[in-house]
Chain A
């Protein structure tokens, strides 16, 4: 059992990015940005383009968004994977220990990156399979 050495919070000790709360939501945020970008671009394209049926420019844009989003999500996932595998603190990772905290953030972020990757691919698939404003 950990005894839990409590010390006062020290602002001057900066935390690495991967130990911050917002790191957990970075991959789903990329999904959200990609989702919004695709939705807004398609909505404007379908309403405003002079020839909405010629979709090559739209596809180029969506491909660009998707590459950026998927690379970003993969990078978050990979860094988080390394984070929770590195050090490998003893099971079951549920104590008041900085290593356990790092493991938790890494593991959860990795899972969220996987989910965000799948959800992003779902969006991309729509352009592959539907591909029409009608």
Chain B
């Protein structure tokens, strides 16, 4: 077989679909690009909203916007920038870049990325569209109850809750994809000490998403239950407490700041060595900064709640952690500065934006240290000082580095270069415009101007700073118009750039110009941190197919799975190709959320069934397929298995990671139960509003635990029996577990039902019922998974050696039995000791 023929076959396998089928693509290059452009479009939309606000605030006593319009616009500005731009853009860029940085052909679950993208697009349009019908959410991007529960009767809060919950699903999908990608899809030889710094940051951020987003999803669930079914979680009249929402929101909301900051600083970590022409100084220190910030950022959420009357000690604990996080955040900035000092720096627009980002972020970070001190925060809270602070942090820490990334990676995507001349103009417009817009806000804030007001009276000292801010905002906007023009202007006559334009050292620049759809011609052996600088003849050897998987003899898309720490080859992974299934699955899943917003329950139910059918079809036809041969020669004398199950398999990791997120959401609900216990003198109450408050009793919750343990044991037995190829025993065990799980769900329901619990009566009843609801839904999903495994074996798609389905389902059941045990103990036993 000649090299040319191998090249042809490889190209054929990875060919991008053409015509209208282009939209069925699932490859990381296409999905990453769509994701980036969509997120950028939402950014421009959010930016226009900001300019509208600045017009309104330019002069005192302005009535250009009504208070209601202003409330919708500032709510949407924050929500769009955070949920539809900042988080998705990092996922978008990572989906596009991460496989290329690691010499992988694709991420391990391309269809999951595509599903995430379509969810994001549909949810984003739904949420933004509400503004044009005058029904947008009005409660701020933090949606505090009781304002959003008692005082806003329209669908605005529901659009926010359901629309953004839907998008959060997409974020968690991307997190699963990126964690498994960074840990398992590295090229052979790329041990932990050689990973590109970008991948370290993304790994940390993806894990943070996994623990930060679920509390918000839990909060969304509680608030939607209150709005739709009158379960009083945040209604103080019936024992509820709006403070729980604040806790759940900020347990998400503060790590969120670092979730959007770290990936952008990761771009800086890739750009700085290239333009300093030297490896990054302090690799280990930067990993310290990434991991350390990731952890500490979870200890800061209460600093958004300093003025809510919490105990002094609580405030102190969170104030101290807020100061401590400055240490790792500062360390990485010193590393960047050190690298620039020891290197031979070349001037470029990318570097200008990097430097602007660092300087701006440092200013925002320092004002952050100021507001982390509680007494200062008491004064500055809810004033324009905070608006100034957060924009310095987010624009300096996120926007400027992303713009730098646009200039840096534009040639990587298109083969053309953005204009340095226009870039310099955009840079100065943005830098000057930004500082003119946001610096005066610190002053107007200190002079007493509150946030979120649609206008202000003249003569209080706010007139001039607001006028200056509005002027600066338009200069900043002009900078983005220049950038947009530079990105969109036709470049047909412009020659293609040379390969590795910036002379960078990392693997993503190994692509040819114009790039081929295969990701990389052959998967190389990596022995250094900057392989393009330090490994001789690497590009030639990659191009000549001298490394792994240079061919696609079966016409399938393949990439390599390696071990977590040392990147030793483990599997030749077949990844699925183009399909419209993911788009349809997202459309139908979106239908569930969108129809539910308007309480069109029948339509939502039908959409849910269609979504379920589509996802099952997707899984049935595209996952855990039995390969035509057990092993494959991947080149250089290395033979790898084509099918693995258990902890070696990427699917097992995806299940494990998803369930960590799922458990986090569940623990957030349990936290809610105990939160109410701490704020009430008597919890559970014996009587409320003239009626006795019923509980679920002890027997039925404990019976549920017993039945679930039987079901769980049977699942484990089924896995063993399948592996020993004993079909009768397997089906029998499966039947026992399905029956026991069904009885467990019924028993869990029966306790509260038979005792006459009314979830609308008191927050205790609602807290028990939400745990019961969550657990029953999980039991039902567990049963569906078992039936799926039975069907797979019956259809010959699962056997004794190809058992990934039942192994992954067993893993789900480990988490499920833990969920049931916790629910049973909390609702059944805790009242005895409370």
Contacts and interface: CB of A to CB of B under 8 A. Distances in A.
Contacts of B565: 15, 19-21, 101
B193 A122 contact: no
Contacts of A3: 527
A98 interface: yes
Interface stretch (B12-20, B155-163, B310-318, B479-487): B310-318
- Chain A's interface size range is 35 or more
Interface in B612-647: 636, 638, 640
B189 A96 contact: yes
Given A4-B525, A123-B320, A9 B291 contact: no
Nearest to A133: B311
Given A31-B295, A96-B194, A108 B317 contact: no
B313 A94 contact: no
A99 to B, nearest CB: 10
A15 B191 CA distance: 14
A91 B425 CA distance: 43
Contacts of B298: 32
A48 B834 CA distance: 11
Interface in A44-87: 44, 46-48
Q: Which of the listed residues B288, B563, B638, B678 has the most CB atoms from chain A within 10 Å of its own CB? A: B288
A8 B316 contact: no
Interface in B557-582: 562-566, 568-570
Given A11-B648, A96-B526, A112 B292 contact: yes
Contacts of A29: 295
Given A1-B536, A101-B191, A104-B192, A127 B284 contact: no
Contact of B193 (A11, A48, A103): A103
Interface in A89-107: 93-96, 98, 100-101, 103-105, 107
Nearest to B671: A40
B527 A95 contact: yes
A9 B324 contact: no
A44 B675 CA distance: 9
Given A42-B313, A126-B313, A6 B648 contact: no
Contacts of A4: 188-189, 525-527
B287 interface: yes
A81 B638 CA distance: 37
B679 interface: yes
A111 B293 CA distance: 13
B299 A32 contact: yes
B568 A8 contact: yes
A89 B284 CA distance: 15
Nearest to A28: B295
B272 interface: no
Contact of A21 (B283, B564, B570): B564
A129 B316 contact: yes
B296 interface: yes
A44 B188 CA distance: 51
B285 interface: yes
Contact of A46 (B192, B314, B562): B314
A25 B640 CA distance: 31
Contact of A111 (B285, B528, B564): B285
Contact of A115 (B288, B563, B678): B288
Q: Which of the listed residues A39, A108, A112 has the most CB atoms from chain B within 10 Å of its own CB? A: A108
A82 B751 CA distance: 56
A78 B189 CA distance: 28
B247 to A, nearest CB: 10
B699 to A, nearest CB: 28
B561 to A, nearest CB: 9
A119 B317 CA distance: 10
A95 B564 CA distance: 17
Interface string A107-134: 1100110011011001101110111111
12 contacts: A4-B189, A7-B568, A8-B570, A9-B569, A24-B291, A29-B295, A39-B317, A43-B311, A115-B327, A119-B296, A119-B299, A126-B319
Interface of B: 183, 188-194, 279, 283-285, 287-288, 291-292, 295-296, 298-299, 311-317, 319-321, 323-324, 327-328, 525-529, 534-536, 562-566, 568-570, 636, 638, 640, 648, 678-679
Given A96-B526, A123-B320, A134-B312, 5 more contacts: A6-B568, A8-B570, A9-B569, A25-B295, A98-B191
